Structure 1
Amino acid sequence: MATFFLIIIYLAFISLGLPDSLLGAAWPVMQVDFGAPLETAGLLSMTIAAGTIVSSLLSGTVLQRFGTGKVTLVSCVMTAGALLGFSLSPSLLWLMLCAIPLGLGAGSVDAGLNNYVAAHYKAHHMSWLHCFWGVGATLGPMIMAQYISGQNAWRQGYLTVAGIQILLVIILFFTLPLWDRVAKISKAASAQADGDIAIGAEDAASKPIKPLHIKGVKFALLSFLFYSGVEATVGLWGSSFLVNSKELPASTAAQWVSLFYAGITIGRFITGFITFKLSNLTLIRSGQVTALAGAALLFLPLPTEFSLAGLMIVGLGLAPIFPCMLHETPERFGKKHAQTIMGYQMAVAYTGSTFMPPFLGLLASFATIGIFPYFIGLSAVAMLLFSERLNVFLGRGKRGERLTVF
């Protein structure tokens, strides 16, 4: 039953990735239809991101009250309705309104599914889960491309993805009882060995501990901020760097940036197998060092081929970091607080991916896009330093002392 249910969660993550890349693929055609300025896509994207950040921050409370199954179902209903609204929107105002539930739905389901898998499944499933998100993010533009090539029918593209989401809603509705059943089986199997770290810590302190006051949480959040900042910044500005600084044709640059994403997706698939032999900590550290090595190839005065290889190496390095850090959350901070902290981590990750790429764009407007590799390198160094600082905290004393309050 647990394996069958895991397949449903994988399908949910494919559907979670599908809308993420639709707007960028469809906007050149949508912009003409609405007669909108180019930067309107940025406003839509930030509206979606804002909704995602808010729902991620609130996900701990919402998930504790209603459960992961119900929240996932309602969130998918919201995203399906929002995508349907996109396909029918008569104006930019309606697009903006539909962007709100699209973001709100994505944040809760993302945090909820990540916490559910971290709590009830092994590390390799978390890596494969995010690999399936990559499958969805890759399929989205492919579906849209089929409709906008020749016909410019971007509305049908959104309608098709909305239909896929509605199909998932139906599946989730009929499998709703399985969420609690699988969770109870998993909890009963691990209760004796695991215990709950947080409860012991609260008893020792004689007062409840707020999740943000748990030692090390802030370093974990900063690690997520810089991870997502590196990934999103490379995705947004990598092509511009190759065209303007390395003088590559735009088509060639776009192909190499797509290989950066392919490196992340393939790397996560491979990481799922490596987790049988190596710990999450080892994979996180190895990935960060690899990403830093790839960033070094970008700013060293080497031939263009080394910069192209650097992008792929950064992608391969990033592959294990995000899923392994998520899977470590219950082990690091205790299952009692893991759900809330998972929501904080997702919110901070979305914050990094929303604001760090525009920040580089602002810096580049005062200098040149040539600062891109230095920005990536410094962000990768910051990610590594905060992650290692977290490891120092978690490595001190006995396991129960990990939750010492600041």
Structure 2
Amino acid sequence: MYSLLLAIIYIAFISLGLPDSLIGAGWPVMHTALGVPIAAAGLITMLIAGGTIVSSILSDRLTHRFGAGLVTAVSVLTTAVALLGFSLAGQFWQLCLWAIPYGMGAGAVDAALNNYVALHYAARHMSWLHSFWGVGAAISPYIMSFALSSGQGWTGGYRIVGLLQVGLAAVLLVTLPLWRQGKQPTPVAAAEPVQPATAPLHLAQIIRITGVPFVLTAFFVYSAVEQTAGIWASSYLVQSRGVAVDTAASFASFFYLGITGGRFLSGFIADRLGDQRLIRWGAILALAGIALIVLPLPTPLALAGLIIAGLGCAPIFPAIIHATPTNFGANRSQAIIGVQMAAAYLGTVFMPPLFGWLAGRVSMALFPLYLFFFAIVLLAVTERLNQVLDREKSRFE
């Protein structure tokens, strides 16, 4: 039972990544077909992110009432229906309409799955599962490319992924009993003794929990680093370093390759090092990589810095999530992970555009300094979180 459920969860994480790259891969064709400017993609992604933030915050209430298995299954089905809606859309406003349920489904399943794994599985599985998300994100551009080259158009790409999601939702619904029988309990130690939660926590209650503001800041700034690097690295290399366009594009993609590969590799050492040290050394490695870009070193070192920064970023996100039940208590982890996801999406939505605005007003050369600032904040707040939680723990010993 345990192994079968774990396999299903791995497949679910691949499916989480599948839709995320579709709009980027298909937009050059989509915006022409729909008769909208290329910048209109920003409205769709913001609507998706808005729905994701709302459902992440509501995930605690949903999971309390329906359980992680049912929430995951229905959320995947919701994203599947939305993706199929994308495939039928003939006008831009229809894409905007379908973006809302897509975001709602994605946020709920993300928070529910992450909490379930944090509660019931070892740290290595959290690293590997997030690596599998990267596999899904890497596959979807190839699906879109196949649809375009085979004459199915961009709608065919969304149709294929939507049908794959329908299949996964069916599997999840059929295997719902496994979510109760297939667990491998993982002992978690709360930072302070708490009574079992009898009702979902409200946002104001969550923020008042000791240490939560630090962990939310960590998720926000981590997303600022990852997303800004992923979106603007190529432009920086071309405009500020004089790198050829094709070389810049390759090394920008190597940043994400570093994250995906790094998460796979960190899974082998996650249980031995523990979440706290994974976060610390990941942040330090990311800073070292960014420093190679900041310093006036030869361009090859700046290119290598992107890969090193990706490797450093790799364990941070999954390790912070996996540590949540230990840091704050298993009975509050779903509520806190939901808000953590919302903080991460806020960083994703607002920080890359902010850099774009700064680059236009000042210079693209600010790119590595922007990353370095947020990476420093990440290391500072995670270390401060450890101090606060250790002090709280010592009060009850």
* Same fold per superposition (TM over 0.5): yes
Are the aligned partners of 1:34 and 1:91 in contact in 2 as well (CA < 8 Å)? yes
For 1:196 and 1:74, the matched residues in 2 are separated by 33
The CA deviation string for residues 254-309 of structure 1, in whole angstroms up to 9 with x for no partner, is: 11111111110010001110113211111110000000011111110111111101
* Equivalent residue for 2:289, pick from 294, 307, 323: 294
For 1:256 and 1:223, the matched residues in 2 are separated by 26
Give the counterpart letter for 2:71 in structure 1: V
| Residues 1:16 and 2:11 are matched in the alignment | no
Residue 250 of structure 2 aligns to a residue whose secondary structure is helix
- Paired position in structure 1 for 2:256: 261
Are the aligned partners of 2:190 and 2:326 in contact in 1 as well (CA < 8 Å)? no
- Paired position in structure 1 for 2:171: 171
Are the aligned partners of 2:70 and 2:176 in contact in 1 as well (CA < 8 Å)? yes
Deviation at 1:211, TM superposition (A): 2.3
Against the structure 1 CA distance between its residues 288 and 194, is the aligned structure 2 distance closer, same or farther, given a 3 Å change threshold?
A: closer
* Equivalent residue for 1:362, pick from 334, 340, 357: 357
The CA deviation string for residues 141-187 of structure 1, in whole angstroms up to 9 with x for no partner, is: 1111112237471111111111110110110111011112235x63x
Give the counterpart letter for 2:66 in structure 1: F
Against the structure 1 CA distance between its residues 160 and 196, is the aligned structure 2 distance closer, same or farther, given a 3 Å change threshold?
A: same
* Equivalent residue for 1:315, pick from 292, 310, 320: 310
Percent identity, aligned pairs only, is 51
Are the aligned partners of 2:189 and 2:327 in contact in 1 as well (CA < 8 Å)? no
Are the aligned partners of 1:115 and 1:338 in contact in 2 as well (CA < 8 Å)? yes
Deviation at 1:401, TM superposition (A): 4.3
* Equivalent residue for 1:251, pick from 242, 246, 257: 246
The CA deviation string for residues 327-385 of structure 1, in whole angstroms up to 9 with x for no partner, is: 00000000111110000000000110111000101111111111000000001001111
Deviation at 1:78, TM superposition (A): 0.7
- Paired position in structure 1 for 2:201: none
Against the structure 1 CA distance between its residues 312 and 195, is the aligned structure 2 distance closer, same or farther, given a 3 Å change threshold?
A: closer
For 2:365 and 2:225, the matched residues in 1 are separated by 16
* Equivalent residue for 1:349, pick from 344, 351, 367: 344
- Paired position in structure 2 for 1:85: 85
* Equivalent residue for 2:224, pick from 226, 229, 251: 229
- Paired position in structure 2 for 1:109: 109
For 2:394 and 2:152, the matched residues in 1 are separated by 58
Are the aligned partners of 1:59 and 1:340 in contact in 2 as well (CA < 8 Å)? yes
Residue 210 of structure 1 aligns to a residue whose secondary structure is helix
Deviation at 1:210, TM superposition (A): 2.6
Are the aligned partners of 1:198 and 1:337 in contact in 2 as well (CA < 8 Å)? no
- Paired position in structure 2 for 1:377: 372
- Paired position in structure 1 for 2:325: 330
For 1:103 and 1:221, the matched residues in 2 are separated by 20
Give the counterpart letter for 1:69 in structure 2: G
The CA deviation string for residues 197-231 of structure 1, in whole angstroms up to 9 with x for no partner, is: 542599xxxxxx93221111100100010001100
- Paired position in structure 1 for 2:200: none
- The range that moved more, 248-257 or 103-112, is 248-257
- Paired position in structure 2 for 1:240: 235
Count residues with an aligned counterpart: 391
| Residues 1:5 and 2:5 are matched in the alignment | yes
* TM-score normalised by the chain length of structure 1: 0.93
The CA deviation string for residues 7-43 of structure 1, in whole angstroms up to 9 with x for no partner, is: 1001011001000010000000001101111111011
Are the aligned partners of 2:192 and 2:396 in contact in 1 as well (CA < 8 Å)? no
Against the structure 1 CA distance between its residues 21 and 389, is the aligned structure 2 distance closer, same or farther, given a 3 Å change threshold?
A: same
* Equivalent residue for 2:277, pick from 272, 275, 282: 282
For 2:116 and 2:23, the matched residues in 1 are separated by 29
| Residues 1:143 and 2:112 are matched in the alignment | no
- Paired position in structure 2 for 1:206: none
For 1:358 and 1:198, the matched residues in 2 are separated by 41
- Paired position in structure 2 for 1:29: 29
- Paired position in structure 1 for 2:38: 38
Q: Which runs of 5+ in 1 are unaligned?
A: 203-208
For 2:93 and 2:356, the matched residues in 1 are separated by 26
Residue 315 of structure 1 aligns to a residue whose secondary structure is helix
Deviation at 1:115, TM superposition (A): 0.2
Are the aligned partners of 1:200 and 1:400 in contact in 2 as well (CA < 8 Å)? no
Are the aligned partners of 2:293 and 2:302 in contact in 1 as well (CA < 8 Å)? yes
Against the structure 1 CA distance between its residues 195 and 377, is the aligned structure 2 distance closer, same or farther, given a 3 Å change threshold?
A: closer
* TM-score normalised by the chain length of structure 2: 0.95
Deviation at 1:252, TM superposition (A): 1.2
For 1:279 and 1:128, the matched residues in 2 are separated by 15
* Equivalent residue for 2:334, pick from 339, 342, 348: 339
Against the structure 1 CA distance between its residues 399 and 120, is the aligned structure 2 distance closer, same or farther, given a 3 Å change threshold?
A: farther
Residue 273 of structure 1 aligns to a residue whose secondary structure is coil
For 1:225 and 1:397, the matched residues in 2 are separated by 24
The CA deviation string for residues 99-126 of structure 1, in whole angstroms up to 9 with x for no partner, is: 0011000000000000000000100000
- Paired position in structure 2 for 1:55: 55
Give the counterpart letter for 1:261 in structure 2: Y
Are the aligned partners of 2:240 and 2:364 in contact in 1 as well (CA < 8 Å)? yes
Are the aligned partners of 2:191 and 2:393 in contact in 1 as well (CA < 8 Å)? no
For 1:197 and 1:122, the matched residues in 2 are separated by 22
For 2:71 and 2:394, the matched residues in 1 are separated by 32
Give the counterpart letter for 2:100 in structure 1: I
The CA deviation string for residues 59-112 of structure 1, in whole angstroms up to 9 with x for no partner, is: 111111111111111101110001101111010111000100110000000000
Residue 336 of structure 1 aligns to a residue whose secondary structure is coil
